Amino acid sequence: MLFNSLNFAIFLPTIFILHWTLAIRNNKKIQNILLLIASFYFYGSWDIRFLFLLIFSTLLDYFLGMKIFLSPQQATKKLLLWLSLSVNLGFLAIFKYFNFFVNSFTEGISHLGIHTSFWTLRLVLPLGISFYTFHGLSYIIDVYKGKIKPEGNLIEYGLFVSFFPLLIAGPIERANHLLPQFKKPRQFNYLQAADGLKQILWGFFKKLIIADNCALYTNIIFKNSNGYNGSTHILGAVFFSIQIYADFSGYSDIALGTARLFGIELLQNFSFPYFSRDIAEFWRRWHISLTSWFTDYVYIPLGGSRVSTAKKIRNVFIIFLLSGFWHGANWTFLAWGALNAIYFIPLLLLKKNRVHMNNVASDKSLPSLNEISQILLTFMLTTFAWIFFRSENLGAAFMYISRIISRSAFAVPQIENTRLLLVHFFIFFTIEWLGRTEKYAIASLGISWPKVIRWGFYSFIIFYIGMYMPTQETPFIYFQF
């Protein structure tokens, strides 16, 4: 079930009304059962077969977490931890990476003159498997390390793993943040719900107006690369860079806003990354929950930055390559990760990776010329890396880049009717800039305006979405991961 579908437009208000009707009796247990059933229905509406995989993974980690906590032997604890890691990562490997490894091995040995073929699996990648797998892994690892106690309530643990707003594309939650919220009685809070609706509205604007309209151009340019000159390829890369941000952060806004409707606060996943002044700041603001997950469960256990220079470089490459591989079974994602590691390492070695910890121009209306140049350079580097992310294979990526660095990069773009898209960009980035210090762009925008003007502004956004959203329904990019 897509957030931007008619089914969800019926599903969400129905569950909302039922949830708060139950709150009259102050019965959080029934509220949680309702949300769990709703979450299973939400997931099963895509493919009922994979609902059983989600349930199995949930039950496995629930019981293993209890066993790890109760076991007196450290060796037994470690064995149970590895059992969870093996099963969960095994499912991920089979569904997401098996064919990649088989095809890569076959292609590799063909260069040695050995030509053979191996059977591959015809499998559909379960929606959200990368996200709910990481939910379970963080829980098991935290229980093993003694950071948290295992959750004894199966309903509440199941809801932690499968809460429908975050189930398909995150954010990747932590047990110590989300589980306590399911344990508290929840009473309807008008201000929280209104804030959630505003965030949902802004998420839909980003998805339907910015991302989906960008997709109309990026899909054509990337799929017909040979038919366009270099300047058009530059536009295509820029459009995709904006598309993936608006698409994924738009999803996150809808997810966080939806959770607020039920009295739940999820982790912030984006913090205006395209206003970053270097790559290190970008990665503190982009897909925050994934970055922090790899930092806590991979980077720090490897020694983090408190090791020799050679190991620092190794650790950074491991993190970024894993991040790339997490996104998909393709060499393009590994190249994307490696390129970001190359961007990041000089900042780390020069100890400049934590220079920009505050919001850009936090005490000013406009950035300085130096800040503008830093933002533009960071955006250019990021956009170049996104070419690998978007391309179907490495050959297509290098072909795309070769067109950019040709003489035709200075020619007139071979794409028309972009004026309206540029208007969309102007409205979008202006509002994002004005709200860059908040959790989302319109959180406080206009809060001091007269009520009539403030509601006129929200009505304008709704009207704008209705006027300019594409008629074709486009899935969220991160649903494929």
Alpha-carbon distance of 90 to 100, in angstroms, equals: 14
Report whether 375 contacts 274 (CB < 8 A).
Answer: yes
Name residue 317's amino acid.
F
* 271 and 378 co-located in one domain: yes
Number of domains, the chain = 2
What is the band of 242 on the pLDDT scale with cuts at 50, 70, 90?
A: very high
Tell me whether residue 383 is in a domain. yes
* 25 and 86 co-located in one domain: yes
What is the band of 291 on the pLDDT scale with cuts at 50, 70, 90?
A: very high
CA of residue 212 relative to chain centroid, distance? 17
The last residue of a domain, from among 188, 213, 231:
188
The pLDDT of residue 216 is 92
Catalytic residue, chosen from 19, 135, 287, 327, is 327
* 44 and 138 co-located in one domain: yes
Q: Where are the beta strands (DSSP E) in 70-165?
A: none
28: domain range? 6-104+124-188
* 271 and 183 co-located in one domain: no
The pLDDT of residue 461 is 95
**69 CB-contact burial (10 Å; exposed 0-12 / middle 13-18 / buried 19+):** middle
The pLDDT of residue 65 is 96
Tell me whether residue 74 is in a domain. yes
* 258 and 398 co-located in one domain: yes
Q: What is the mean pLDDT of the chain?
A: 91
Tell me whether residue 141 is in a domain. yes
pLDDT at 113 over 80: no
The pLDDT of residue 475 is 81
Examine the residue annotation and report whether 327 is marked as an active-site residue of this protein: yes
* 388's tokens: 């690998």
pLDDT at 150 over 90: yes
* 265 and 198 co-located in one domain: yes
pLDDT at 409 over 90: no
* 144 and 266 co-located in one domain: no
Nearest-10 crossing angle of helices 369-390, 394-404: 140
